[in-house]
Amino acid sequence: MAKVVDSYTISEGSGKETNHYVFSIKGSGIRYKSGDAMGLFPKNNEQLVKDTIVKLRAKRNDLVSTGDVDETTLENALMHRFVIHRAGRKFLAMVHEKLGKGKPKRELEAILNDSHELEKYLFVRDYIDIMNEYKVKISPQEFIDTLSPIAPRLYSISSSPKAHLGEIHLTVAIVKYNNFERDRFGLATGDLAKGISVNETEVPIYIQPTRDFVIPSDGSKDIIMVGPGTGIAPFRAFMEERVNTGATGKNWLFFGEVHEESTFFYKDEWFEYMKNGHLTKLTTAFSRDQKEKIYVQNRITNNGKEIWDWLQNGAYFFICGDKQYMAKDVHKALINIAEEHGKMKKEEAEHYINQTLMKEEHRYLRDVY
């Protein structure tokens, strides 16, 4: 159990919420290294638990069996053990079964038989939404039996244990949206944003150690770090680690966010590192500060010659953040750099980036999600 000892927003005025959290692990025996992730077990939103119990026409002290403990209260099971902020297929199938013949039953049957429709339907609904649409009697135990257990969430640690003894820092983007005129939150980020009190709340955590996403043990090696958005997290840890170990290699950080004014995460720290000569280069891409979107890969392409020279000189290349789009685009930019500045044919450039740099030399490392 780790106590939350600090929490503050680092994106004030941007329209999105990204927060910095500090957890105390003093006396716990937990150890970590820069590059590791922290796992945490979230709890559900208290109001959502209450509203779900009301919707079920049940009582919070109703006893239910949850599989691995004999019996617990409905409230406790919903608070800590099961996913209730997004609905699942099993529940919908039960509702369908309970409905008497008629239009609602046929409607649900059509959704259940079309995987694309089903995904669309469940994406925007929780159990309350479904119970609002289809009126059937469901006992607390029947409800519990359809739910999925809560899975822990991972966060890249944004501190080095050498700089913050007994602490773990995280950089977390809060997932928020509104469906059917109700505000919704991601499970873990909603818990972090709404369900904790600083210096009071304790959260069950564990360390997910990384094997590959580590700074070179040879401190004289140069590193290039690409971390837009919350992808910045491990690089704050890396810089703290490099400074604390007296590493002599050059450090180049690429950071991207929406606006320089409101989302330049840890700006003062980067400027201090620049002033002291610890950060050799800082290249930013603020996507919404001008008409055309500018992303980190545009800056990488524009700095292609110098990146190529760093790589030829043995530099390591790290990417952290969005897996679906950003990491793929940065990957493509790297291949283009090998083509243009390494004078390679496309296949050679792909082989160099995918095989030589990534698999053989382990100098291209990714922490993407």
Binding stretches for ligand FAD (CB under 6 A): 37, 123-124, 153-156, 171-173, 175, 177, 179, 186-190, 230, 233, 369
The least CB distance from residue 291 to ligand NAP, in Å, is 12
- The burial class, CB within 10 Å (0-12 / 13-18 / 19+), for 208 is middle
Element (H, E) at 63: strand 63-64
Contacts of 166 by beta carbon, 8 Å cutoff, 6+ apart: 24, 25, 26, 27
State the binding partner of 188 from ligand FAD, ligand NAP, none, CB within 5 to 8 A by kind.
ligand FAD
Residue 203 or 349 having the CB closest to ligand FAD: 203
Rounded-to-integer distance, Cα 174 and Cα 157, Å: 16
Which of 153, 163, 150, 138 lies closest to 34, judged by CA? Answer: 163
State the binding partner of 322 from ligand NAP, ligand FAD, none, CB within 5 to 8 A by kind.
ligand NAP
Residue 173 or 274 having the CB closest to ligand FAD: 173
- The burial class, CB within 10 Å (0-12 / 13-18 / 19+), for 45 is buried
State the binding partner of 177 from ligand FAD, ligand NAP, none, CB within 5 to 8 A by kind.
ligand FAD
The least CB distance from residue 189 to ligand FAD, in Å, is 3
Residue 234 or 321 having the CB closest to ligand NAP: 321
Rounded-to-integer distance, Cα 196 and Cα 183, Å: 18
Residue 127 or 265 having the CB closest to ligand NAP: 265
Strand, coil or helix: 159: coil
Give the pair of three-digit tokens for residue 151: 């899975």
- Radius of gyration (Cα) for the chain, nearest Å? 24
State the binding partner of 308 from ligand FAD, ligand NAP, none, CB within 5 to 8 A by kind.
none
Residue 91 or 235 having the CB closest to ligand NAP: 235
State the binding partner of 240 from ligand NAP, ligand FAD, none, CB within 5 to 8 A by kind.
none
State the binding partner of 124 from ligand FAD, ligand NAP, none, CB within 5 to 8 A by kind.
ligand FAD
Rounded-to-integer distance, Cα 282 and Cα 260, Å: 13
State the binding partner of 321 from ligand FAD, ligand NAP, none, CB within 5 to 8 A by kind.
ligand NAP
Give the pair of three-digit tokens for residue 54: 């009301």
Rounded-to-integer distance, Cα 185 and Cα 175, Å: 6
Contact 3, 166 (CB under 8 A): no
In the complex, residue closest to ligand NAP by CB: 229
* Residues of the shown chain interacting with ligand NAP in the complex, contacts defined by CB under 6 A: 18, 173, 228-231, 256-258, 287-288, 293, 295-297, 321-322, 324-326, 329, 369
State the binding partner of 325 from ligand FAD, ligand NAP, none, CB within 5 to 8 A by kind.
ligand NAP
Residue 138 or 172 having the CB closest to ligand FAD: 172
Which of 271, 269, 281 lies closest to 233, judged by CA? Answer: 269
Contacts of 94 by beta carbon, 8 Å cutoff, 6+ apart: 138, 142, 146
The least CB distance from residue 331 to ligand FAD, in Å, is 17
Residue 54 or 124 having the CB closest to ligand FAD: 124
The least CB distance from residue 90 to ligand NAP, in Å, is 25
Residue 344 or 368 having the CB closest to ligand NAP: 368
